[in-house]
Chain A
Amino acid sequence: MQASLFNTSPGKARITSELRSLWAIVRREWIIFTRYPSWIIALFIWPLIFPMMYIFTARALSGPDGSGLDVFIQNTGANEFIGYIIVGTTVWMWQNIVLWDVGFSLRNEQMRGTLESNWLSPAWRFSHLLGPTGPQIVSMGMFIGITALEFGLLFGVRLNGSVWMIVLMMLAAIPAIYGLGFAFASLVITIKEASAFVYLVRGLVMIFCGITFPISLLPEWMQEVAKWLPQTYLIHGMRAAAFSNAGLPELIPDVIPLLLFGAFWLAVGYSTFLWMERRARQTGAIGQY
């Protein structure tokens, strides 16, 4: 009997078929995503609600005549305090959503039972983590777009900068933000308690990265910690790009560290995945729920 209908020739044929597998995974996620559009409501509400908490706090603290805002503007150098806040909260929500969406993409399949059938196929296994990231990035782009739209319409926030520079900052941040998501996704397969990690990360980002205030207000040691979180650079660069009309030269000091962190977190994410795959073969974790 014929061993199989494939010849295991490495090279081009192999790469093409792996790309087709990856594409099939992206498509699968996209079909399911668009078929059950319950997220639409969340997509309009969250971008508004979460920053509003901070915006109203800021208004309350600024005094009845709003004079406190001048101090804020002096401190931050931002002439737009609402824009300042929504960049911070949006980055925070981005990382948070990635940890839930990408971070639990494998875990959800594990619980549904489909992770095992995916694992049974000869396709490259990392595709199963990479694939769902595509639709996630698209939906995140929608999320950020809607944020801009809502605050533009309802709060009169006006962009003072180039959309392309904002996109550049976001692209530069993708490897770091999603690399962390990959590492996390692999951890929760073998160590179920790892979900507590989400709260740690978003807590860190919330306090250290200055989502609603300038880092310089933090105590010295906290500023040191902030330097090691990529979100710090993303928030800083995004604010500059969106509201201070910063161009490429001004953004480079944020882009370079973001890319370095990106390389680091992608490597961590991929090695955690390999570690998980090996460990799951010992413990049978892929099939447990």
Chain B
Amino acid sequence: MSLLEINNISISFVGLKAIDSLSFSVDEGSTVGLIGPNGAGKTTVFNCIARYFKPDQGQILFRGEDLLAFKPHEVIEKGIARTFQNMELFRSMTVQDNLLVGQHSRVNTGFFINAFSLRKKKINESQIKDKAAAVMDRFGLTPYANSRVISLPYGIQKKVEFARALVSEPKLILLDEPAAGMNPNETEEITELIKQLRSVDGITVLLVEHDMKLVRSICDEINVIDFGRKIAHGTPEEISRNPQVIEAYLGRQEENEYARA
């Protein structure tokens, strides 16, 4: 059964059609790749799912529910967590506090309970701190728990954002280029962590990534988009042999080379 279903969505920005009648679905428990050349519209798809943008047309269903009826801050309550391509961390806060904010939707204490630090708050706080500690441990972030995010190296920050998405215990996680800018070692670690999402937590993953080796090694199926349109769908083998995909990537490369010359 498909967990997430994207039906024929389109969105345009001042004349530019960023997504054009795009449909695909993500099965529960699977790891699905969403790839395409720069500017293809991958991040825009994420932003539509996370409700930052409202598609001009089409439908997004999550577990059969219409996602477009919800506000951005309600998406995580539904069970969808995301990371951002350009990282949207809380940079002045510690790593631990970032992971506590990650569990914001899991805590339902009212204002006065918090203002007067009643027992319920204390119980809640220790629960979410335990959860954060567990995730930090798994991501190797424990030594940085009390460091401010802004003081950490880029690779660690990337991991913090990943951990922050995971700590909310989502059903579906959207990863936007989790390995961008990472060295081979770090990429290896990230690959392992993404694999664990399925094997340990049973979380469904929708992955945007330019590193094809990574994508091929973990995705069950891949959707390829270009200029906002879906140009191919299939298993990693099928995709790597698809002439249209090769054309889209190579064509773009030639263009780039032309532009550079």
Q: Do A and B bind each other?
A: no
Residues of A that sit less than 8 Å from B by CB = none
Which B residues are closer than 8 A to A by beta carbons? none
